[in-house]
Amino acid sequence: MSNETKPMDDNLVNHYNGTHAKISFVEGKPVAVVEATSSYIPIEEFKKIFNEIGKLVGSKNITKLIFDKRKLTVFHQPSMEWYFTEWKEDMWNKGLKTHRKILPDNKVFQQSVKIGREKIKEENPNLKFNQMDIQYSDSVQDAIDN
């Protein structure tokens, strides 16, 4: 799943460094990247980071978000519930409708994300995230391009 050996064509501009994740945006494109920098992001920090992205979405008219989860080993369902049911809904209204995810090379993690997302989908069939363009990518460059 992880593949970042090729040099990137686009230039990433650092925007915010959190304790467990960092945010950057792609120069000249309406794309933001959030990268997990530790194996787990506590919910408090997770909300802080995504609220920060929310500000960036508003100020830079971001339409695509790449979430690089390759460093993560633990998945937190309550954080994901907030992310899907509140944050993504707000962002949809601000124009952020395209999401790309880069998953770690960890089968349990990948499966848990899938199960967790299905659970949220089942419980919230009317949410906007069901209409979003969500895909998995192998690298940041691949996520920017596709």
Partner 1 sequence: MAKSTVEDLKLELEKSNNEIQLLKTKYEDQVGPLKEEVSYLKEQLMAQQDMLKMAVDYADKLGKELKGLKKRIDSGNFQSIH
Interaction site with partner 1 (CB under 8 A): 39-40, 42-43, 74-77, 108-109, 111-112, 115-116, 119
**Cβ of residue 76: shortest distance to partner 1, in angstroms?**
4
Residue 51's φ and ψ, nearest 5 degrees, are -70, -35
Nearer residue to partner 1 within complex by CB, 48 or 128: 48
Instruction: Write down the least CB distance from residue 45 to partner 1, Å.
Output: 8
Our CB check for partner 1 shows the closer of 11 and 39 to be 39
CB of 70 to partner 1, least distance (A): 17
Contact 130, 90 (CB under 8 A): no
Nearer to partner 1, 55 or 107 (CB): 107
Nearer to partner 1, 2 or 77 (CB): 77
Rounded to a whole number of angstroms, the minimum distance from the CB of residue 42 to partner 1 is 5
Give the whole-angstrom CA distance, residue 146 versus residue 134.
11
